[in-house]
Chains A and B, each alone.
Chain A
Amino acid sequence: MEFTQLLIIVFGMALVTAVPRIVPLGFLAGRPMPIWFEVWLKYVPISILSAMLIVDVVWRENELDLSPATNLMMHATLIAFLIAWYTRSLFATVAGGVIVLALLRHFS
């Protein structure tokens, strides 16, 4: 692939990524919105975070991996949830999960 062609693709990617990122913050902030929409928006963060998390955890190498024996991420996730629930600490959750996963990988 030619370099100029590659550059055009990269700029195209940048454009289609930037526009959805900018438009709401730049041009929809502070506008009154319908009540149902505001209620819906309230549930967007937890929904989007949950969807991203589950895909990260159980979608391994392009297929569903729900086996506790091969998918060590699931154990780390469970423990990280417990840590998050009891400590309410971002740092403890991230550190705990990373350590658990590293130990599991080391001993399996």
Chain B
Amino acid sequence: MSAPAFTPPARPEFLRDRRPSVPVHRRPVLAERHTSPVAAPAAIALPIAPAVVVESRGVSTHFGAGSGVVSALPIVIGYFPVAFALGIMAATMKLSFMATALMSLIVYAGSSQFVALSLLGAGASGWTIVLTTFVVNFRHFLMSLSLSRHLSSWPRSRRILLGLQLTDETFALLQSQAARKDPGEAHCFAVTHLAHASWFLGTIVGYWVSWLLPDTKQFGLDFAMCGMFIAMIVLQAANRMMVLAGLSAAAIAITLKAAGFGPGAVLFAAILGAGIGMGMEKWNSRSS
């Protein structure tokens, strides 16, 4: 199977964004999408998410629950061992099973759960743990904001439900798909539910079979999430300013980390990196 040609994020979308006189919810494309979600001809549906959907030979090239399941596979495969490790960690700390499972179910934010466990182990106060969780997870605000531009035709209740299950990985995937065309509720919820289930089940299984202590690292599975980020970064890197924003954010993140900045490093790096991209774009449009 040959790799599908890559279609960079469509220019017109970006041009539309610069005209605030047209309210987002009245954009013709979105309105049409909302009334006939299934009727889009395959020729149009095909280039939307070439990296994910076209690979699913046999599965419809339309967005739907099926394409969601296929898209979610790398996340499901990536989440399970990480959640497994989380479960092991909680079990070795003798944390209650109920609390561990509940955390994966209702907090559902990987890195902050690991941080919370290590804070609990260090005997930190509840306030410290909750506040740290807030700082670590506030980056989801930016992700939710970014995604909200593409899904504004959805009913509010559904947008809120999707927001509840927003993680780094589901965001990376859904944003790259939604940036080209609204993938629809069935697709998006198939992705988020499966990812959530994988995380939850991984935690439980890890907790109960912690005595097995398998070294998941030898399989290189801890790279699955990184690989996913890399693919999404490359898909986003449509021009020099995008690349510059990404490189700046990376440089800032690592500088802040090395300076002992702790949990907020990624958030601040993302804000500043995007600011540099914006600055470059303004500067370019002025000088040309």
Cβ of A69 within 8 Å of any chain B Cβ, yes or no, is no
A-B contact pairs, 16 of them (CB 8 A): A3-B96, A13-B129, A17-B109, A25-B163, A29-B148, A29-B154, A30-B148, A38-B18, A47-B271, A53-B230, A54-B254, A84-B234, A91-B74, A93-B227, A99-B220, A105-B217
Cβ of A68 within 8 Å of any chain B Cβ, yes or no, is no
Indicate if the CB atoms of B112 and A30 lie closer than 8 Å. no
Q: Which residues of B contact A16 (CB under 8 A)?
A: 130-131, 133-134, 137
Indicate if the CB atoms of B236 and A77 lie closer than 8 Å. no
**Which residues in window 1-26 of A have CB below 8 A to B?**
1, 3, 5-14, 16-18, 20-26
Indicate if the CB atoms of A88 and B218 lie closer than 8 Å. no
Q: Which residues of A contact B218 (CB under 8 A)?
A: 102, 105-106
Indicate if the CB atoms of B143 and A48 lie closer than 8 Å. yes
Number of interface residues of A (CB under 8 A): 83
**Which residues in window 86-135 of B have CB below 8 A to A?**
95-96, 98-99, 102-103, 106-109, 112, 116, 120, 126, 129-131, 133-134
**A13-B130, A35-B20, A84-B231 known; A21 and B140 CB under 8 Å?**
yes
Indicate if the CB atoms of B140 and A50 lie closer than 8 Å. no
Indicate if the CB atoms of A29 and B249 lie closer than 8 Å. no
Cβ of B40 within 8 Å of any chain A Cβ, yes or no, is no
What 1/0 flags go to A74-108 for Cβ under 8 Å of B? 00110011001111111111111111111111100
Indicate if the CB atoms of A13 and B107 lie closer than 8 Å. yes
Cβ of B252 within 8 Å of any chain A Cβ, yes or no, is yes
Q: Which residues of B contact A30 (CB under 8 A)?
A: 23-25, 148, 152
Indicate if the CB atoms of B142 and A48 lie closer than 8 Å. yes
Shortest C-beta distance, A26 to chain B (Å), equals 4
Cβ of B162 within 8 Å of any chain A Cβ, yes or no, is yes
Indicate if the CB atoms of B227 and A39 lie closer than 8 Å. no
What 1/0 flags go to B248-280 for Cβ under 8 Å of A? 111011100110000001100111111111100
Indicate if the CB atoms of B126 and A12 lie closer than 8 Å. yes
Query: Which one of B52, B73, B221, B232 contacts A49 once the chains associate, using CB atoms below 8 Å?
Result: B232
Shortest C-beta distance, B250 to chain A (Å), equals 4
- Chain B residue at minimum C-beta to C-beta distance from A43: B277
Indicate if the CB atoms of A98 and B220 lie closer than 8 Å. yes
Q: Which 6 A-B pairs have CB atoms at the shortest separation, nearest pair first?
A: A43-B277, A47-B273, A102-B220, A101-B220, A30-B152, A88-B6
Indicate if the CB atoms of B245 and A25 lie closer than 8 Å. no
Cβ of B225 within 8 Å of any chain A Cβ, yes or no, is yes
Cβ of B210 within 8 Å of any chain A Cβ, yes or no, is no
**Which residues in window 186-223 of B have CB below 8 A to A?**
217-223
Shortest C-beta distance, B17 to chain A (Å), equals 5
Indicate if the CB atoms of A39 and B106 lie closer than 8 Å. no
Shortest C-beta distance, B275 to chain A (Å), equals 6
Indicate if the CB atoms of B241 and A43 lie closer than 8 Å. yes
Query: Which one of B140, B146, B233, B242 contacts A53 once the chains associate, using CB atoms below 8 Å?
Result: B233
Q: Which residues of B contact A11 (CB under 8 A)?
A: 106
CA distance A58 to B255 in the complex (A): 11
Shortest C-beta distance, B126 to chain A (Å), equals 5
